[in-house]
Structure 1
Amino acid sequence: MKIITILFTSILVINIPIALSAQSYKTIKVENKIWMTENFDAEVPGSWCYDNNPENCKKYGRLYTYEAALKNCPKGWHLPSDQEWTDLINYFGGEDIAGKALKKDGKSGFNAILGGSRIPMGSFGLIGTYGCFWTSTKYDKAHAWYRYITDQNDYIIRTYFTVSYGFSVRFVKD
């Protein structure tokens, strides 16, 4: 067990791989929530490897539509709500600085990987510069909330987008 102190709070880093689908995923516990520390990578309809290259799935995980992310949660896990993301971000200091802690090799152990995105017409973009993560919370019928992190600053941004886009997914234990 390893304790990491951040902003006068601590998190428990659990380095026990958890088997989900055919993969195993490392996790961290932040307050009372257990989060995956790797992008999900299960091949299901509505998911893609960046540029349709399987090597990218190994490094970045798959990109999922909102519906594919919601419908393919492993048993005992769920797509985090907008509020769960807000709680995670606030734990690490808020939107203006949490991105730094949450990025790969950041102090949180969350290891947000900048896996880019896929637009509905099939092209890909932003790999290595943006990490976009779905929440389970809809904005309206055609849009859902998501969070994104960039390599340009320490922010993590809350916004909504069309549910047919492909973004990365992290799950939280029920």
Structure 2
Amino acid sequence: MNKLFYRIFLFYTIISCKSETKKLTDIDGNQYSIAKYGETFWMTENLKVRRDINGNDINYFFPDNDSGNVQLYGLLYDFETACKVCPQGWRLPNNADWEQLFNFSKDNVAGNYKDKQFWEGEINSNNSGFSIRPSGIGNNKEHPNNFGENTLFWSDSKEEEHFIWTYILEKGKTKIRKASQHPTYAFSIRCIK
């Protein structure tokens, strides 16, 4: 009888631990899938929170200037906002985090990270389960928003005093690019723990 009880207890403990590591909830109640890559947990969806971790309203942009795109593509944030919106206990990834995830030491193939249903005209595997969608960029209409063409993710690493590193996936490109950007532009966010 004790062995049976122990097995049932162990089974439910394992199941409850696994379910805790598959979802993350932000301050607005949005839930995100997460996955472990190496020793780090990553969100596998773009952030879509509309308040910072203290409950204050924040600045954000809708992908393609359309609020209907938020559920599928998340929101776009300037760098200052990006630094204060990850859920409690989570943070913005730095360059080392991104480069370890994308395995920059080898031939990083963007198709392993692109959600195969959202990059029109491409064959992508999304083998990683990271599910990147082409959310484009947010800005004050100074430049095209490139919705459906690319996605940029903020890093927490600065190139120099006024520019921040980003990681870019582009339509038709198999390489993941790294480039510095002005902090007033708005890009996607994935948080890590």
Q: Is the 8 A contact 2:165 2:179 kept in 1?
A: yes
Compute the RMSD of aligned alpha carbons: 2.0
Q: Is the 8 A contact 2:64 2:135 kept in 1?
A: no
Structure 2 counterpart of 1:101, from 81, 103, 112: 112
| C-alpha distance in structure 1 between counterparts of 2:144 and 2:97, whole Å | 28
| C-alpha distance in structure 2 between counterparts of 1:149 and 1:109, whole Å | 15
The answer to whether residue 165 in structure 2 is matched with residue 128 in structure 1 is no
Alignment partner, residue 115 of structure 1: 135
Q: Is the 8 A contact 2:115 2:132 kept in 1?
A: yes
Structure 2 counterpart of 1:53, from 41, 46, 66: 66
What CA deviation, in whole Å up to 9, does each residue of 1:80-130 have, x standing for no partner? 001100111117x74x43311111141000011110001245665111110
Q: Is the 8 A contact 1:90 1:98 kept in 2?
A: no
What CA deviation, in whole Å up to 9, does each residue of 1:23-56 have, x standing for no partner? 0100111110110000000114221112432111
| C-alpha distance in structure 2 between counterparts of 1:36 and 1:122, whole Å | 30
Alignment partner, residue 17 of structure 1: 23
The answer to whether residue 130 in structure 2 is matched with residue 79 in structure 1 is no
Amino acid at match of 1:111: S
Which structure carries more strand by proportion? 1
Alignment partner, residue 159 of structure 2: 139
Q: How many residues in Structure 1 have an aligned counterpart in Structure 2? A: 158
Q: Is the 8 A contact 2:137 2:186 kept in 1?
A: yes
Q: CA deviation at 1:75?
A: 0.3
Unaligned runs of 5+ in 2: 1-19, 52-57, 117-125
The TM-score with structure 1 as length reference comes to 0.83
Which structure carries more helix by proportion? 2
Alignment partner, residue 76 of structure 2: 63
Unaligned runs of 5+ in 1: 1-13
Percent identity over paired residues: 27
The TM-score with structure 2 as length reference comes to 0.75
| Runs of 4 or more above 3 Å deviation | 120-124
